[in-house]
Structure 1
Amino acid sequence: MKAWRNDAVNDMELQRLLSMMTLEEKVDQLLQLAPAFFEGANSAGQITGPLEGLGITEATVRRAGSALGLGGAEEAIAIQDAHLRHNRLNIPLLIMADVIHGYRTIFPVPLAIGSSWDMELAGRTAAIAAKEAAAAGIHVTFSPMADLTRDPRWGRVMESTGEDPWLNGEYARAFVRGYQGKDVAKEPYKIAACIKHFAAYGAAEGGRDYNTVDMSEWMRREYYMPSYRAALDEGCEMVMTAFNTVDGIPATGNRKLMRDLLREEWGFNGVLISDWGAVKEMIPHGVAENERECARKAIEAGVDIEMMSPCYPHHLQELVESGEVDVKLVDEAVMRILRLKRKLGLFQKPHRYADPAAEQDILLCAEHLDAAHEAALRSCVLLKNEQNTLPLNKDMKTALIGPFAVSDDLLGPWSCMGKREETATLAESMSLLAGSSALTAVGCGVESITEKELTDMLTAARSADVVVLALGEASEMSGEAGCRADIRLPGCQLELVQRVRELGKPTVAVLFNGRPLDLHGVLDEADSVLEAWYPGTKGAEAVAELLYGEANPSGRLTMSFPYSVGQVPVYYNAFNTGRPQSDPSAPVRYESQYLDIPNEPLLPFGYGLGYTEFEYGQAVLSSDELHAGSSLSASVSVTNAGSRAGEETVQLYVRDISGETVRPLRELKAFRKITLNAGETKEIEFLLTEDMLRYHHSDLSYHSDSGAFIAMVGPNSREVQELPFQLISGVYGTTTTTT
């Protein structure tokens, strides 16, 4: 771990400041409020919870330690200046915001960026978001979200990078590097990152926001914790608590999780912040009788900042004065906050990089728009392309139909200060490339359809050579509180697909959405399907270029698409069970299977197509034995057998045949992205080492076992070549409890 190791050094000035603070000032330093509470505010911020009943006084606001969700440099400067005029000790505010996939220049949603399999690109999008946010007066972003996601019903899967713990960790590192740079204190236009939601929020029961999570500690450590740890190892400055329970205790009041694991075992001494209102939510959770008990449990768990609930300011002082809470806990929390403010230079430059003039130059600048365009191109995933329907011929008459044909709702949830009116529509972008050969008819709304829309659609479709259907979810159908039990497209859109197919025209479907969908009625009906996600500010231009072959689709799924919602959660790295399905084509009774649907997802992890074909040669291992301190290589030749250049993502998986605990059928261990010209061949080599084979045992120790393994190489998690090898006896990793 990085940043906090030397926090105790050179703390003398902060200790003097702490000694000058009254208990009331210390307690209020732990409070975070929305902008509407502050003098100088011109917006109410982005409200994600109730404001009523906070009971916050003007004096408390003047002593508060942080604000969230401000609307730009002018407001940030005005609020900070007013706060410093009224704050007795001139302690500046920390200003935070949900800068999730861009500030004003909006990139594809994180699940889409995950589909790029490009860490450099992910880091660059975060760096640009940080630059724009810093110029607008933001000091901290509530990102990245490293929650492992296996349930597409959960609206917040759009904010994740998928279902693989190792890949999520690599993305978490990349985002943290982008936001913070090598040194957030010294590099210009960097902001502090906050990893969330600690812990295991992605496993909320039923895919429903704010719901219960119940799993073994072994499961958490093996699958859900590694990506958080990766972000912290990269030096992430803050952690946000999850809304859910962990071992029957809400995370925000969970001392074992926060103090014992996060702080003591992992050594994290940065700032721990609750999610919006989560401290007070211990009351409806049923583990606190009142706000007073909430305050005690949260501070004892190690929560430094209470976001948008009043338990600390209402009760923490009396808890200390009554002796129920040791004042040292409050002092520790205040010191962690002061250290971050010092690290960010706020005592010397309380406005930091906030500058209205610079803000105007930086936001939506050409460099940032180019990056948004590249990210959108690389995030789209081609799911189907029968008869080479794509790319489209610009000379063919194309009918663009569907609710997203002329929609600017392409930014997605959590698009911060992005403006839909600054986003081109798909119709505009296709017309720029193909001119009058692109016709447009809406056909239906996202969730409604009229006879006139159908009539206009059919008129356009009949006159066209090919039909492009722009389908998907409205942005409010995804993101926080955007959970759906039925993850098919709305019925009116499925009807639209069916009516078009009845015309017998070549049909392409383009999907704008924030989650894996049940694609029955689309994937089986359309000739080609392009998953565009919510592609951001330059998304429409990128999608049009992909449709017309100006660029080659290269995205690969990082979350499985279910055959049916009845499979959910369905994911590639599942366990085998004691009665695995032996033959899907000839089911046998009393095996682990469904009677009415396949076990396998419709589209697997790692899947994606392009406009060329890749052929894999015979994969080989350099040895069938792996020894301690050495490595073996898995190699395969890949040939572009098509007529145009393309990019392939070659993937390496491993299966441990027999472990002390059950092991998954396959686990991603490495990947290589390669670009090949038509007819070109490259030899791809992966190195396998003993440390890649370690896992958590039943006693939570983390090490490898000797025995049989299978390495697997292929273009996705389903289509692989298997290469058996042995890990030789006596090869062990660390036996300490770790991730």
Structure 2
Amino acid sequence: MIRFVPYALLICTMACSQTTEKPVYLRSDAKTEDRVTDLLKRMTVEEKAGQLNQLAGDLNTGPASGNADWQHKLEAIKNGQVGSMLNVVGAAKTRQVQEAALAGRLGIPLLFGYDVMHGYKTIFPIPLAEACSWELEQVERNHAVAAAESSSAGVHWTFGPMCDISDDPRWGRVMEGAGEDPWYGAQLAAARVKGLQGNLDTNHILACVKHFAAYGAVEGGKEYAYTDLSRVALWNKYMPPYKAAIDAGIATVMNGFTTFEGIPVTGNRYLVTDVLKNKWNFKGFVVSDWNSIGEMVNWGYAADKKDAAFKAISAGSMMDMETQAMVKFIPELVKEGKIQMKEIDDAVGRILYYKFKLGLFDNPFAYCNEAREKATLFSNENRKQSLEAAKRSIVLLKNENKVLPLKKEVKKIALIGLYASDKSHIFDFWKGQGNPNDAVSLQEGMAAAFGTSSISYSAGYVDLSTTTNKSLIAEAVAKTRSADIAVVNIGLSGDLAGEDRSLANIAIPADQVELLKELKKTGKPVIAVVSAGRPMILTEITDLCDAILYTWILGSESGNAIAQVLAGEYNPSGKTVMSFPKATGQIPVYYNHFKTGRPSTTDGKGNWYSRYRDVDNHPLYPFGFGLSYSHFTYSNLTLSDSILDNNHTLQVKVTITNDGDHDGEEVAQLYINDVAASIVRPVKELKGYQKIMLKKGESKTIQFTLGSSDLSFYDASGNSVVEPGKFEVFVGGNSRDVLQEQFWLK
């Protein structure tokens, strides 16, 4: 049985045994750097190796599973063999485990990490959906709530935000990111870091960039797969969001599960040391992803775990999540002279710095307040924020004959779809501490918005069924015939979104398509509410529905948010951040694709150009697309000058008119095209946006400012390049439908 020494007694005993004065590392009035230096001098190499060792608690996010051997882990913690734990949550539990660390020789507290992807107890929209709001202040608030809840439950650190750019919706982890655009991804990365970390008080937590670097480029959108890309692509497409997070002051970075230039990124010195530590001057610490150090053996890059530990630390990686290679082999590697102590001290010192920064040496239980935990988790105010975020994340893709919002004449609604009522599908597979039973289903939201007597429910299909259930379809058809309109919740279960959820087929399931075909025959208006953690291929259903509302996976207030949009209590303003493909074989399809020597013709006709024979080059719905219950017209695009130089800026003005029937918000987007450059450039690049509210009939002239830095790109060494020449500028409501002008950079 482990006996824990009271923390105050431990401090007194240590101080009296070593010197008549309190050690520098225990003095709260000393500089953090001095405290780190003092503590490093007192630590053995084994204790330093222990600080680089992270173990999992009750839950597992990797292949391993089973009951945790807590007695063994607590002994290891007490003996200084563990510096951090993940998946230990709750004020009471984290206090208990922290006591084991404080009972050790030096009383070094643990860091507790946990995946808080989009909420801890109050669940917000998945990050991909959240990005569709185009509202950075809302995004920051969402993550501040997540930080407050998780910190109240003893968590110091989360493994996010995910900053991976990806244009392949087959990859399950697109749900964690910001979509396909690096410029917008950078804005979101910074906002998410600010929301999570704040000023690193006890209401905030350490954030972690992941997955460094270019994990979104995995082959075929397949999880844990190989990546092969040029340095030009690395710097221009994938690096900007990571860099924005670093510039925002993020504390930690996580290695990806993939490779760069044939080397696993966990052991890639170019990425971790040359770029992250030297070029970007990153002062935080690097943590492996789950067993990514050990998996270098599987890659065939390391002979065994000892070799993997050597290659990881030599590359600049630091904390070891779950491989337990650092704690086991670093003392040997130091003794053999393969690793210098200064390398270990650099890694350990960075981890200790943030333990001091969080105040854990002065008040190790500051994050273990059960009263605060009870008052904070799933509060009414947090749920209000979740509802607001969910409404703003919804994207209206189609609205034929203005069938939405639902009119007062609609008295009877047939609500169809398993996902509308079964709450087990309402969250993605990694839902934090959220309880699906606490969430609001679409059926509950519709009942609250329209009245229970107005709603007639039918399941319509079986989840992941490979055959059509004719009896369920017949029941849904009967309900629809007796109603004024059908609202059909289709898509994919939330359990198919996230890590290890890559899919080869992202089309609407065949049984759901068959359901829509039969409902269409009734002659009643059909509204498709699509729930999914990724853009799906909607080609088969567009003609079967009068309206398509893309609702992603929206979190705790999902049902209320969707119902309020359907009812017109909120006019949808979301815009896509990933292009929607027309067919699987078209993937990847993205707006900022590179130019080609044989571009397609304007009308798509003719021969001998870059295309498929059986589907055109355009997505079904482009990046930046989203309808409103109103309508917006763009006019009078003007530039302040036809020439720009490095010492001045260019003003881009455009007039936007709400010529629809409702007040509404519009996301005006500005794109550029570098007509001729020293390397091939994309056909369009997002460089700005404004979200504005316009009353019915109102016009506004808005202004964007462009400087020479906005026209820059990166060379293969990651250096910013600005070249004179002709540029095109585009402004519109999405990346396709734009007004165009041009200017010259001198």
TM-score by length of 2: 0.93
Match of 1:424 in 2: 440
1:58 is displaced (CA, Å) by 6.1
* Residue 575 (structure 1) aligned to one of 591, 594, 605: 594
Match of 1:713 in 2: 731
Residue 420 of structure 2 aligns to a residue whose secondary structure is: coil
1:57 is displaced (CA, Å) by 7.1
Match of 2:37 in 1: 15
Instruction: For structure 2, list consecutive stretches of 5 or more residues without a partner in the other structure.
Output: 1-29
1:700 is displaced (CA, Å) by 4.6
* d(CA) in 2 for partners of 1:704, 1:255: 28
Match of 1:535 in 2: 554
* Residue 159 (structure 2) aligned to one of 127, 142, 159: 142
For the 8 Å contact 2:165–2:179, the answer to whether it is kept is yes
* Residue 488 (structure 2) aligned to one of 469, 485, 490: 469
Match of 2:543 in 1: 524
Of 486-495 and 112-121, deviating more is: 486-495
For the 8 Å contact 2:119–2:146, the answer to whether it is kept is yes
* One-letter identity of the residue aligned with 1:256: Y
Name the CA shift for 1:54/1:431 in 2 (closer, same or farther; >3 Å).
Answer: closer
For the 8 Å contact 1:472–1:512, the answer to whether it is kept is yes
Match of 2:222 in 1: 208
Deviations 1:577-597 (A, max 9, x none): 0000113442x2211011000
* Residue 399 (structure 1) aligned to one of 406, 414, 422: 414
For the 8 Å contact 2:32–2:353, the answer to whether it is kept is no
Deviations 1:291-342 (A, max 9, x none): 1101100111112110011211221211111111112211211111110100
* d(CA) in 1 for partners of 2:299, 2:231: 21
Q: Does 1:113 align with 2:127?
A: no
Deviations 1:338-391 (A, max 9, x none): 101000100011122221111111111111111100000000000000011111
For the 8 Å contact 1:209–1:480, the answer to whether it is kept is yes
Residue 112 of structure 2 aligns to a residue whose secondary structure is: strand
* d(CA) in 2 for partners of 1:47, 1:716: 37
Match of 1:127 in 2: 144
* One-letter identity of the residue aligned with 2:558: G
Match of 2:581 in 1: 562
Residue 543 of structure 2 aligns to a residue whose secondary structure is: coil
Of 658-667 and 16-25, deviating more is: 16-25
Residue 524 of structure 1 aligns to a residue whose secondary structure is: helix
Residue 555 of structure 1 aligns to a residue whose secondary structure is: coil
Name the CA shift for 1:310/1:699 in 2 (closer, same or farther; >3 Å).
Answer: closer
* One-letter identity of the residue aligned with 1:74: A
Match of 1:40 in 2: none
Match of 1:507 in 2: 526
Match of 2:740 in 1: 722
Match of 2:17 in 1: none
Name the CA shift for 1:263/1:124 in 2 (closer, same or farther; >3 Å).
Answer: same
1:707 is displaced (CA, Å) by 1.0
Deviations 1:608-657 (A, max 9, x none): 00101111122111211112211121111111111210000111000010
Within-5 A mapping of 1:236-247: 236-247=250-261
Match of 2:692 in 1: 674
* d(CA) in 1 for partners of 2:74, 2:125: 40
1:209 is displaced (CA, Å) by 0.7
Of 518-527 and 708-717, deviating more is: 518-527
* d(CA) in 2 for partners of 1:132, 1:373: 16
* One-letter identity of the residue aligned with 2:64: P
Residue 204 of structure 2 aligns to a residue whose secondary structure is: coil
Deviation above 4 Å: which 4+ runs of structure 1?
Answer: 51-59
Within-5 A mapping of 1:648-667: 648-667=666-685
Deviations 1:481-533 (A, max 9, x none): 00001011222111111121122211000011010111122223111000000
Match of 2:23 in 1: none
Instruction: For structure 1, list consecutive stretches of 5 or more residues without a partner in the other structure.
Output: 1-7, 36-43, 729-739
For the 8 Å contact 1:107–1:125, the answer to whether it is kept is yes
* One-letter identity of the residue aligned with 1:464: A
* d(CA) in 2 for partners of 1:30, 1:555: 42
Match of 2:657 in 1: 639
Deviations 1:379-409 (A, max 9, x none): 0000000011111125431101012121222
Match of 1:493 in 2: 512
Match of 2:22 in 1: none
* One-letter identity of the residue aligned with 1:670: G
* Residue 174 (structure 2) aligned to one of 147, 157, 165: 157
Match of 1:411 in 2: 427
* d(CA) in 2 for partners of 1:13, 1:462: 74
Residue 134 of structure 2 aligns to a residue whose secondary structure is: coil
* d(CA) in 2 for partners of 1:473, 1:626: 49
Q: Does 1:374 align with 2:383?
A: no
Of 555-564 and 426-435, deviating more is: 426-435
* d(CA) in 2 for partners of 1:620, 1:462: 52
Residue 618 of structure 2 aligns to a residue whose secondary structure is: coil
For the 8 Å contact 1:458–1:500, the answer to whether it is kept is yes
For the 8 Å contact 1:84–1:90, the answer to whether it is kept is yes
For the 8 Å contact 2:32–2:356, the answer to whether it is kept is no
Of 57-66 and 606-615, deviating more is: 57-66
Residue 190 of structure 1 aligns to a residue whose secondary structure is: coil
Q: Does 1:67 align with 2:85?
A: yes
For the 8 Å contact 2:252–2:287, the answer to whether it is kept is yes
Residue 404 of structure 1 aligns to a residue whose secondary structure is: helix
* d(CA) in 2 for partners of 1:10, 1:463: 71
1:51 is displaced (CA, Å) by 5.3
1:82 is displaced (CA, Å) by 2.7
Name the CA shift for 1:160/1:57 in 2 (closer, same or farther; >3 Å).
Answer: closer
Residue 502 of structure 2 aligns to a residue whose secondary structure is: coil
Of 456-465 and 382-391, deviating more is: 456-465
Match of 2:456 in 1: 439
Match of 2:376 in 1: 362
1:148 is displaced (CA, Å) by 0.5
For the 8 Å contact 2:581–2:620, the answer to whether it is kept is yes
Within-5 A mapping of 1:683-722: 683-697=701-715, 700-722=718-740
* d(CA) in 2 for partners of 1:285, 1:10: 39
Match of 1:171 in 2: 188
* One-letter identity of the residue aligned with 2:545: A
1:726 is displaced (CA, Å) by 0.7
* Residue 298 (structure 1) aligned to one of 303, 307, 312: 312
* d(CA) in 1 for partners of 2:369, 2:74: 27
Residue 618 of structure 1 aligns to a residue whose secondary structure is: strand
For the 8 Å contact 1:84–1:92, the answer to whether it is kept is yes
Residue 418 of structure 2 aligns to a residue whose secondary structure is: coil
Give the aligned CA root-mean-square deviation in angstroms: 1.7
* d(CA) in 2 for partners of 1:9, 1:577: 56
Residue 311 of structure 2 aligns to a residue whose secondary structure is: helix
Match of 2:4 in 1: none
Q: Does 1:314 align with 2:328?
A: yes
Name the CA shift for 1:113/1:718 in 2 (closer, same or farther; >3 Å).
Answer: same
Q: Does 1:89 align with 2:106?
A: yes
Name the CA shift for 1:702/1:647 in 2 (closer, same or farther; >3 Å).
Answer: same
* d(CA) in 1 for partners of 2:411, 2:88: 48
Percent identity reads 41
* d(CA) in 2 for partners of 1:319, 1:82: 28
1:52 is displaced (CA, Å) by 8.5
User: How many residues are paired up?
Assistant: 708
Within-5 A mapping of 1:182-193: 183-184=199-200, 187-193=201-207
1:727 is displaced (CA, Å) by 0.7
* d(CA) in 2 for partners of 1:371, 1:13: 40
